Structure 1
Amino acid sequence: MEDNYEKYAIAVIIVFGAVIVGGLMGATIGFGNRTGFLFALGSATAGWIAGHAMLFDRPRIYGVLIAVATLMAIASTLALVS
């Protein structure tokens, strides 16, 4: 395994912040769902901070933040479809 954490940290920031959660935020804004938008914003923030936790070599914090980001993205999706 490669020991270069910067590449993986940047990948996490891009994937969570821009692609996945950005689309979810756009969908919730389009449908006027404030709760879903706030969950998506929280998910993006947790994912963004998780990238920095990986950059600073904090694997437990990284794991917790990724779990929080995933749960908030799921909550945002459920708020959008309900």
Structure 2
Amino acid sequence: MNDNFDKAAIAVIIVFGALILGGLMAANLVYAHRSGFLWALGGSTAAWIAGHAILFDLPRIYAALIAIAVLMAIASTAAFAF
């Protein structure tokens, strides 16, 4: 098994934090949904910190932060849609 956590951490930070939640932040800004923007901002912050949890080899904290980021992304999508 490859124990290179750096690539996984960078992938989580870039793909989840920047692309997915960045798109949600942009969509909420365009349509002036403040709550949706703040949910997406919180989710991207949690995903960014989760990338650091991988670097420090903290799998439980990583799982909790990814769960928080996913829930905040769902909340941002719901705020945008409704």
If the TM-score is normalised by the length of the shorter chain, which range does it land in?
A: over 0.9
> TM-score, normalization: structure 2?
0.98
Match of 2:41 in 1: 41
Alignment of 1:65-76 (within 5 A): 65-76=65-76
CA deviation map 1:23-69 (0-9, x unaligned): 00000000000000000000000000000001100000000000000
Q: Deviations over 1:5-29 (max 9, x none)?
A: 0000000000122210010000000
Match of 1:50 in 2: 50
- Taking structure 1 as the reference length, the TM-score comes to 0.98
Taking every aligned residue pair, what percent have the same amino acid on both sides?
Answer: 66
Alignment root-mean-square deviation, CA: 0.5
List structure 1 runs of 4+ shifted beyond 4 angstroms.
none
**Which runs of 5 or more residues in structure 2 are unaligned?**
none
Structure 1: tracts of 5 or more residues without a match: none
Task: Report the secondary structure of 2:44's partner residue.
Answer: helix
Supply the distance in 2 between the matched residues of 1:25 and 1:48 (Cα, whole angstroms): 15
Name the counterpart of 2:81. 81
For residue 18 of structure 1, what is the aligned residue in structure 2? 18
Distance 1:8 1:52 in 2: 10
Partner SS state of residue 3, structure 2: coil
**What is the aligned residue count?**
82
